[in-house]
Amino acid sequence: MSDYEVFELGPTSLACGIRLPAMHIAYRVYGSLNRDKSNLILYPTSYGAHHSDIDWLIGADRILDPARYFIVIPNQLGNGLSTSPSNLPAPFVKGRAPAFSHWDNVAAQDRLLREVLGVDRIALIYGWSMGGQQALHWGALHPDRVERICVTCTSARTSPHNKLFLESLRLALTADPAWRDGWFAETPVRGLRAFARIYASWAQSQAFYRRKLWAGAGFDSLDDFILRAWEGNFMRRDPMDLLSMIDTWIQSDISAAEPFSGDLSAALGTITVPTIVMPSTTDLYFTLADSEIETAKMPNAELRPIVSDWGHRAGNPVASPDDETFIRQAVRDLLESSD
């Protein structure tokens, strides 16, 4: 028994120029839609995450309140639940899966909201990391459909430095002997372990490790933290899906398509709804400086940094109560200020 639903999209043309004979999006809902359908919060998934990995923040006195809002988590394409390399049929196998973009994610989510849930307007889009990228794409593509945006540790356009980090992950994974002829002939155990250690070194800050904050999160040692929190996390996922989501992340750019033609300022300028952008002060790849530049180009956006030693993970504070409290207050401020 699965804890999610599936919307079959049928034959679908992707932004990369490939047409799939069938595509689907997996999603889960929390709470109830009100009579006038005005209380929907869209909460897209982050890198490598399924809805069940990020729904911890839904609940009474958490960041998103299902007693007041109808919360929808759509699993992004490539994550293993929605259409992904790991579940595509021939001929889209063994390295021939198409590239998925956030344009494709937004198009699929748009159809889900309109055709399945019957909702035209979104009260709030909330997203962390790649989920935040999808939220900002929504704001640029459908400015008349989105009422508020709150994003943590993310970007409107993936920076050159962030791309280098992602390329290092790709190279670590594909350096495994299991990588042959553009796909993995067996599980790349060595590659996944290297992948996990690189990720762990970037996702948390230097201060996180110096202060041994992993101890407060329920780990007995640094090795225990790396093994269970990082190796264990990525060992759950299909390696071709991990590569697919890296490609989506690298190509993330809200100005990449018409009518913006690469003009990031123009794309950000279309996001006129109340928006709070929340970088972590110690995020090593979605930096505060980059967020300052992007937020300044959004007419109605507030930059509200998360002062934290948790690095990128401050934006998903499952084990950091102070960061959760800070983000929860921002979401409440955003929702209440424009009620």
Residue ranges of domains in the chain: 5-159+252-337
The amino acid sitting at 111 is: R
| Alpha carbon 135 to chain centroid, angstroms | 9
Active site residue 129: yes
The pLDDT of 146-168, averaged and rounded, is 98
User: What pLDDT score was predicted for residue 337?
Assistant: 80
307 and 317 Cβ atoms separated by less than 8 Å: no
What are the pLDDT digits (tens) for 36-72? 999 999 999 999 999 999 999 999 999 999 999 999 9
238 is catalytic: no
Architecture of domain 5-159+252-337: 3-Layer(aba) Sandwich (3.40)
pLDDT digits (tens, 9 = 90+) for 219-266: 999 999 999 999 999 999 999 999 999 999 999 999 998 889 999 999
Give pLDDT, residue 338. 60
Catalytic residue among 86, 129, 252, 291: 129
- The yes-or-no verdict on residue 314 having pLDDT over 80 is yes
Q: Which 3 state secondary structure label does DSSP give 81?
A: coil
Among the options 104, 241, 253, 283, which is catalytic? 283
Does residue 29 carry a pLDDT above 70? yes
Residue 259, preceding peptide bond in cis (omega within 30° of 0) = yes
The Cα–Cα gap between 214 and 309 comes to 11
312 among known catalytic residues? yes
Average pLDDT estimate for 275-287: 98
Q: How many CB atoms lie within 10 A of CB 173?
A: 24
**Rounded percentage of the chain residues whose pLDDT exceeds 90:** 98
pLDDT at residue 207 greater than cutoff 90: yes
Q: How far apart are CA 53 and CA 225, in angstroms?
A: 17
Query: Which two tokens mark 130?
Result: 């790649």
